[in-house]
Amino acid sequence: MTRGPKRLRILVADDHELVRRGIRGLLRTRRGWAVVGEAVNGREAIDKVNRLKPDIAILDISMPDLDGLQAARRIREAVPTTEVVVLTMHESDQMVRRVLDAGALGFVLKSDLAKHLVKAVKDVSAGKQFLTPRISDIVLKGFLNTANHADTSGPSQARPTPREVEIIRLLAEGKANKAIAAKLGITIRTVETHRAKIMLKLGLHSLTELIHYAIRNKIFTPPGATE
């Protein structure tokens, strides 16, 4: 007997019942998607992710008792198979950098939930990064401005290996560890080990710095950028 597609298991964390209800309504429109848990604060979200192991955690940034970014970091460390979509009311290059550095793959403005949340969850579940077109434009300008003015004569003269270059490119493209592992035929743990070694070797401290490195060294060209 042929099995149907795997059910997508989702946890929703927001301290407002009306918002959670609206998200449940949006997600219910997709066959095979199920909200398996809800949380009203960051600490409860972490506890439920640890227990339920959902595929996706949707986290509001402004939650009590650990905000969404703190929760995202802890969730990605404890359950790396759970991808994170962050919700916020604020659009800025700085905010997106903080979201990416927390390990989230998706960034959705609360004002755009009805328009973008389903697509965000679909993309993130496939290991792809999701930013709305408006946010992508803001981020691209910020990345390019930083890359063009960065000091490229840093103390580290280390050069990544061909395999590390490949992983840098995939990370800069917004691929999740799980997607990189599948593409390269290696384990998620091996991807995490490569990533840690790359950061140490190149003196990088965040995903944002890695993306800047990839742009400066022509490993990755952001969509919409000119050569």
CA distances from 209 to 8, 25, 112 (A): 32, 37, 28
Count H helices, E strands: the chain? 10, 6
CATH number at residue 35: 3.40.50.2300
**Is the per-residue pLDDT at 157 higher than 70?**
no
pTM for this predicted structure: 0.70
> By residue range, what is the domain housing residue 124?
8-133
Residues 29 and 99 in one domain: yes
Q: 139 in a domain, yes or no?
A: no
Give which of 118, 9, 186, 165 is closest to 178, Cα–Cα. 186
Tell me the mean pLDDT in the region 137-145: 62
What pLDDT does residue 25 have?
94
Residues 102 and 187 in one domain: no
CA distance 10 to 111: 21
Query: Of 28-37, 183-192, 197-206, where does mean pLDDT reach its minimum?
Result: 197-206
- The two three-digit tokens of residue 204, written as one number: 């990088």
CATH number at residue 163: 1.10.10.10
Residues 31 and 105 in one domain: yes
Residues 129 and 189 in one domain: no
The percentage of the chain sitting over the pLDDT mark of 70, rounded to a whole number, equals 86
Domain end position, chosen among 102, 133, 164: 133
Tell me the mean pLDDT in the region 153-170: 78
The total of other beta-carbon atoms located within 10 Å of residue 133's CB is 8
Q: In a 10 Å sphere around its CB, with 0-12 CB exposed, 13-18 middle and 19+ buried, how is residue 209 labelled?
A: middle
The dihedral through the CA atoms of 115, 7, 106, 165 has a sign that is: negative
Tell me the mean pLDDT in the region 45-59: 97
